[in-house]
Amino acid sequence: MDFSYNENQKMIADMIQKFGKQNITPFVREWDDAQIFPLDVFKKLGELGLMGVLVPTEYGGSGFTYTEYVTAIEELSILDPSVGLSMAAHNSLCTGHILQFGSEEQKKKWLPKLATAEWIGAWGLTEHNTGSDSGGMATTAVKDGDDWILNGAKNFITHAISGDVAVVIVRTGEKGDSHGMSAFVIEKGTPGFSSGRKEDKLGMRASETAELIFDNCRVSNDNLLGNVGDGFIQAMKVLDGGRISIASLGLGIAKGAYQSALQYSKEREQFGKPISHFQAIAFKLADMATEIEASELLIYNAADKKNRGERMTLEGAMAKYYSSEVAVKVANDAVQVLGGYGYTKDFPVERFYRDSKLCTIGEGTSEIQKLVISKQIIG
Ligand SMILES: Cc1cc2nc3c(=O)[nH]c(=O)nc-3n(C[C@H](O)[C@H](O)[C@H](O)COP(=O)(O)OP(=O)(O)OC[C@H]3O[C@@H](n4cnc5c(N)ncnc54)[C@H](O)[C@@H]3O)c2cc1C
């Protein structure tokens, strides 16, 4: 097996590093401090083909596989995890749902706009009272002639304010019935569709998170993705791919934090020698490097299965669970390696530390990943 970057991955990594120097790195602190969602950056990422990484070229995308997708998220997340998170939500959740379950007509209508970032996408499953237990959702869609009327609200939605279009999963049947939910595409400007409160967050502050509100929102049956009752099953399949996204985000965070810690440990001297010469610090770095390598292997294993069209629920959950926990641990250790300086905003490790926590929560918490893994292995 060859785990080195293929030509496309090399090209993507190089492109993001060059792009980031000018368009991301100088602004990360400001975006984080003021919770600014840098919409123009995503428009530019669209020009680079990074907002439709998995979308076939016939729909205006880049037509890459999950292998290249992992690299794109990882490289962006090394620069700014918020950008990695938003790029991932747009690509694998909103766009990915339409790509997997839209009709030909629906794909032609929405994918070219999403793949080029002319439109930014959101995806709404979570509600105020139903996160891990998303199947218990309360937002409803009721049939009215050829249309559907939606009522309720979705919570913690990435791009709920700046998004131009959202895929939302709502109840069309009985509570407790996994076939009682359906997925709809809702465009911004649809009467009765609005955004609510923006969250003030611990980390991932440049990635916008807010509510989506439906107040007698009328949408055509043409906006239904797949069949009535398929929404929840579709969402679970979308999340299988989404787990690769969050795992890659965690990998980028861990690599960014590790690189900062490694460099600092070689430069910072205490007791007459670089702190990397102390075994306590050197062993932390050894653990970080090993865990990052292990995350990477789990992620590429899941991505490889996905590329081959094989079921990867187990591998995706393992990659997401492990990589997320590693991101938190590595970021925590990186702060420790930098000591007091790691606790200040002069170095990026404190931001990696705050940003990393999202990985163990978003798109299924670590506890839920362990439920998925244990269900798969025990049966
Ligand atoms: C920055 C950010 C962006 C997000 N973006 C989106 C988005 O774009 N779209 C979207 O739909 N959602 C989004 N989410 C929501 C996210 O997916 C949920 O927060 C997550 O699924 C957890 O749900 P919850 O917050 O309601 O926690 P809860 O489900 O209330 O969980 C609370 C705690 O209980 C534990 N727990 C719950 N059930 C069990 C169980 N059965 N066994 C063991 N432990 C359990 C959890 O692991 C957790 O530790 C986002 C969240 C954040 C913070």
Give the global pTM: 0.97
CA–centroid distance, residue 369 to ligand 1 (Å)? 11
How buried is 12 (Cβ within 10 angstroms: 0-12 exposed, 13-18 middle, 19+ buried)? buried
Positive/negative CA dihedral, 94, 159, 9, 326: negative
236, 79 contact by CB (below 8 A): no
Q: What local confidence, expressed as pLDDT, does residue 41 receive?
A: 98
Ligand 1 atom closest to the Cα of residue 199 is 1
Pocket residue to mutate for ligand 1, from 83, 120, 156, most atoms within 8 A of Cβ: 156
**Per-residue pLDDT tens over the stretch 194-204:** 999 999 999 99
State whether residue 268 is helix, strand or coil.
coil
Query: Which ligand 1 atom is nearest residue 367's CA?
Result: 47
At residue 379, the pLDDT reads: 87
Element (H or E) spanning 123, and its range?
A: strand 121-124
pLDDT tens for residues 36-67?
999 999 999 999 999 999 999 999 999 999 99
- Distance (Å) from CA 283 to ligand 1 centroid: 33
- What is residue 2's predicted lDDT score, i.e. its pLDDT? 78
Across the chain, which distance is largest between two alpha carbons, in Å? 79
- Confidence (pLDDT) at 170: 98
Ligand 1 site, CB within 6 A:
89, 123-126, 131-132, 156-158, 204, 209, 358, 361-365, 367-368, 371
Secondary structure of residue 210 in the 3-state scheme: strand
> Would you state the pLDDT for residue 299?
98
Residue ranges, the chain, pLDDT below 70: none
Q: How far is the CA of 274 from the centre of ligand 1 (A)?
A: 42
Q: Which residues of 313-340 are buried (b: 16+ CB within 10 A; e: fewer)?
A: bbbbbbbbbbbbbbbbbbbbbbbbbbee
Task: Give the pLDDT confidence score for residue 43 in this predicted structure.
Answer: 98
Q: For residue 38, what are the CA distances in angstroms to 139, 171, 210?
A: 30, 33, 15
CA atoms within 13 A on the CB side of 220: 4
Choose the catalytic residue: 291, 315, 325, 363.
363
Q: Which two tokens stand for residue 217?
A: 């929102």
CB distance 122 to 282 below 8 Å = no
Q: Is 291 a catalytic residue?
A: no
Tokens (6 digits) for 95: 């766009």
Quote the pLDDT of residue 3: 81
